[in-house]
A and B are shown apart, each in its own frame.
Chain A
Amino acid sequence: MSAAPVTILDALLVGGLLAAAGLTLFVPRRSTAVVMFLVFGVLLAIAWTRLGAPDVALAEAAIGAGVTSALLIDAVYERSRRPERATGHHRQVLAVVGAVLAAVLAVGLALVLVDIGPFTSPGPGAADLVADRLDESGVSHPVTAVLLNFRSYDTLLEIAVLLVAVLAALALQPDATLRGVPAPTRTPDLLGLLVRVLAPVLVVVAGWLLVAGSVAPGGAFQAGAVLAGGLLLMRLGGWPGAVPASDLLRPTLAVGLTGFLTLAYLTAALGAGWLDLGAAWAGEAILALEALLTVSIAMTLAALFVANQDPPTPPVGVSSPERTR
């Protein structure tokens, strides 16, 4: 790997990232902060492509910048109140000390990191092994092979984390379903048109990302995030059933983890060992599993968004005018 020199684009990117992060964290207006965070997410996605990580860039654009920003924007525009900040000498001193300490830590950490030479591991590194045994994994894209075959157990637990997150968000609803969240009432015609055009496009894009994951950047997470966007658009555009409120909700949320666990139980029961995919059928198994995961991930991200919206009762008055201090 030849060391790539820093270009002007890198320098601009880094400057933009730091500026966006600083504005995100320090502007007084919440809406500005959230928009700056959106910019930060987009710049991060560009940074990942500069660092040769197209999978990560796709995921960041769809999940990190897309879904997270949607959650944040929805949180800001209904209520723009900021609890009063305790000001005073004590707090200012704390801020200054904190800033100095943070600067020292950051510089120290950066120095240590920059000092790392090329990896000189004493044994075969995991990355070398991935390249050596990729053809046994059933897919030809190394990141997908790591995620769904070599280290599939990590991904299984990660899907469990997603399920726990959405259950936790549902637990904040009075009856642990989405029934309490009012569906959007008024649908402007133009939005309906957009949804009719865009929803099929998003489904196609998601499907393409899913299938492409076997050979190229993409996969269940990216596809799921795109599909989640489609589901939310449909909900806003006059199809509230796109995100089911109760009966179908939990089965859809859980279908990915259920499929993953079933695969694990089957492999163990048939004597191969937990999650041991035979080279002959690994490719098909991974694709089928990813399809289920895509459905669950999409519904999970969409349900997180809906669950965070306020229940109708108790009514919250007209949101107070934005306060900047």
Chain B
Amino acid sequence: MNDTLGALVLLPLGGAVLAALLPRHGPWVGIVTAAATLALALTTAAAVYRSGPRHLELAGWGAPLGIDLRADGLSAAMLALTAVVGVATTVYATGSDAASGRPLFWPLWLALWSGLNAVYVSGDLFNTYVALELVGLSAVALVALGGRDAYPPALRYLFVAVLGSLAYLLGVALVYAEAGTLDIVEAGERLDGATTAVTALTATALAVMALGLALKTALFPLHAWLPQAHAAAPSAVSAILSALVVKASLFVLVRVWFVVFGGAATPGAAQLLGILGTVAVVWGAVLALRQPRLKPIVAYSTVAQVGYLFLLFPLATPGLGEAAGTTAAQAAYAGWTGALGLALAHGLAKAAMFMAAGTLALAHGSDRLTDLRGAATRMPMSTLTFGLAGASLAGLPPTFGFVGKWQLLQASLISGQWWWLPVLLVGGLLTAAYTVRVLGATVNPPDAELAPLAPVPRRMEWAALSMAALAVMLGVSSSGLLGLLGVGAPVGGGP
């Protein structure tokens, strides 16, 4: 059973090699690999939900000599999100070369998927670095598939991604110097046990790692690279980047913050991350409102939505090490499930939004809002997809986004950090505003002459709509998913 953890990484990687060797059969290799990986991910998630975190010692050595793979509830949820969005984007990408960008899409995308899974199951700090580089390099290569205009943003993305990784690597070296191990859980135990006070070394290690990972996650004010790169990429790639890739570095930051540095993460630093997240929520939304084109709107929306996820740190950090049942632990647990649930909801909704934006742009030959008139009646499915996804992002009931925000609201109230409440409300309003602006642009004005639409394969629209529908429907039955996020969580004293 535990062997699925290895297969989750090595199966898509095998698919990537196969797709590289058989360039003409890329779509088939992609679909088969995607289906198998989805099955593996769902099996793993079910196993974690039923019987707790999974653990696998690779090569038979065991940490700290070898590398261990681990999957707790958060890992399982991220694996499942990646697989679900991955299957949808795979189907979507088979629809059009313009959406995927040439045959090399397939090996690069499968390698990226493998890297994402590797990040989520890794139990080792340095292995995480290598996995992050696999994710970063293949993501940049996928952006570059967008053609000559995508090269400058791709290069900028590459510099940012590698600089972030280098900062992270420096932190790994410092942790190793202090703890003598690269295993994440063991390093956490040793750092916790060895130091009574936070040493300068530990603080420096946490600071450089947080800086590097925040850069890779595009936290304000380190976000400027993201909208360009995500908007310049082919649509399927944009969906993958916004829905999945930014989550990988956030996942690592969560691991590092709560597991490795549990004792060193101070409330002050957590508040700082929350404040930066708040600024991102407002700033990203304001810029999204000012974009004349659809894909940049969706890309700036990612900057804003990533900001919410950083509320995890101020809301959950005070509950570290508190016994189950205390107020602090309850608040932290609500913050944990809320912010990470929101990450899942954002993944689904943002994938839907970018895919819908892609089909609209493909049909209309442009993604300028002024060129999209009439889409509401002529491409109702794509427009509906965009609207549903926007509703989930804005946190309207009964969507999954609403559930996440509700949990964050609870966490703020219980922990007495009332100052996050306006952020949640204003952010929702701004999200609704730019969604409505896009929807308004698709309405058909009377007696306007409309250019004919280019044909778009139906499966592309279906793939997008399925993600949006999932983002809404999961809100109705969310308890299972929230429970999964709590399995093995570092806060809340266990589920």
Contacts and interface: CB of A to CB of B under 8 A. Distances in A.
Given A133-B65, A264-B6, A123 B186 contact: yes
Q: Interface residue tally of chain B, by bracket?
A: 35 or more
Interface in A181-205: none
Nearest to B59: A275
Interface string B80-111: 00000000000000000000001110011001
A121 B180 contact: yes
Given A121-B190, A273-B60, A274-B56, A265 B14 contact: yes
A153 interface: yes
Given A112-B201, A157-B127, A164 B134 contact: yes
Given A129-B65, A167-B108, A167-B141, A261 B58 contact: no
Contacts of A294: none
Nearest to B141: A168
B157 to A, nearest CB: 12
Contacts of B118: 157
**From A108, A163, A272, residue with most partner B Cβ within 10 Å:** A163
Contact of A167 (B13, B104, B181): B104
Contact of B21 (A108, A251, A268): A251
A257 B12 CA distance: 13
B137 A165 contact: yes
A149 to B, nearest CB: 7
A170 interface: yes
A5 B299 CA distance: 54
Contact of A274 (B58, B115, B137, B181): B58
Given A122-B194, A157-B130, A251-B21, A164 B138 contact: yes
Contact of B104 (A108, A116, A171, A265): A171
B64 interface: yes
Interface in B1-59: 3, 6-7, 9-10, 13-14, 16-17, 20-21, 23, 56-59
B125 to A, nearest CB: 11
B172 interface: no
Given A112-B200, A176-B104, A150 B190 contact: no
Nearest to A258: B17
Contacts of B460: none
B193 interface: yes
A154 B200 contact: no
A160 interface: yes
A115 B58 CA distance: 35
Contacts of A211: none
A130 interface: yes
B180 A126 contact: yes
A119 interface: yes
Contacts of B330: none
B17 A257 contact: yes
Contacts of A277: 59
A172 B59 CA distance: 37
Nearest to A116: B177
B13 A261 contact: yes
Contacts of B114: 160
Given A167-B107, A261-B14, A265-B10, A150 B194 contact: no
Given A273-B58, A273-B59, A154 B67 contact: yes
**From B102, B145, B177, residue with most partner A Cβ within 10 Å:** B177
A130 B3 contact: no
Given A153-B67, A274-B3, A276-B59, A171 B20 contact: no
A254 interface: yes
Contacts of A125: 64, 180-181
A195 to B, nearest CB: 30
A156 B118 CA distance: 11
A149 B137 contact: no
B169 interface: no
Contacts of A74: none
Q: Interface residue tally of chain A, by bracket?
A: 35 or more
Contacts of B357: none
Given A154-B126, A176-B23, A168 B186 contact: no
A168 B108 contact: yes
A172 B137 CA distance: 14
Given A129-B65, A176-B102, A261-B13, A171 B108 contact: yes
A2 to B, nearest CB: 19
B140 interface: yes
Given A126-B182, A161-B130, A261-B10, A171 B102 contact: yes
**From B64, B126, B174, residue with most partner A Cβ within 10 Å:** B64
Interface in B114-154: 114-115, 118, 124, 126-127, 130-131, 133-134, 137-138, 140-141, 144-145
Contacts of A121: 178-181, 190, 194
B366 interface: no
Nearest to A145: B65
Contacts of A109: 204
Contacts of B419: none
Nearest to B2: A273
A10 interface: no
A246 B480 CA distance: 50
Contacts of A124: 64, 180
A161 B161 CA distance: 14
A218 B85 CA distance: 43
B297 to A, nearest CB: 27
A179 interface: no
Nearest to B126: A154
B485 to A, nearest CB: 26
Contacts of B64: 123-126, 129
A152 interface: yes
Nearest to A168: B141
Given A133-B65, A167-B20, 14 more contacts: A121-B180, A121-B181, A123-B186, A123-B190, A150-B61, A150-B66, A152-B58, A152-B59, A157-B115, A168-B137, A168-B141, A171-B102, A261-B10, A273-B59
25 contacts: A108-B204, A112-B201, A112-B204, A115-B201, A121-B180, A121-B181, A123-B190, A126-B176, A126-B180, A153-B127, A154-B126, A157-B118, A157-B134, A160-B134, A164-B108, A164-B111, A167-B20, A168-B108, A250-B20, A258-B17, A265-B14, A273-B56, A274-B6, A274-B59, A276-B58
> Can you list the 6 inter-chain pairs with the closest CB atoms, starting with the nearest?
A121-B180, A168-B141, A125-B180, A276-B60, A274-B6, A129-B65
Interface of B: 3, 6-7, 9-10, 13-14, 16-17, 20-21, 23, 56-61, 64-67, 102-104, 107-108, 111, 114-115, 118, 124, 126-127, 130-131, 133-134, 137-138, 140-141, 144-145, 174, 176-182, 186, 190, 193-194, 200-201, 204
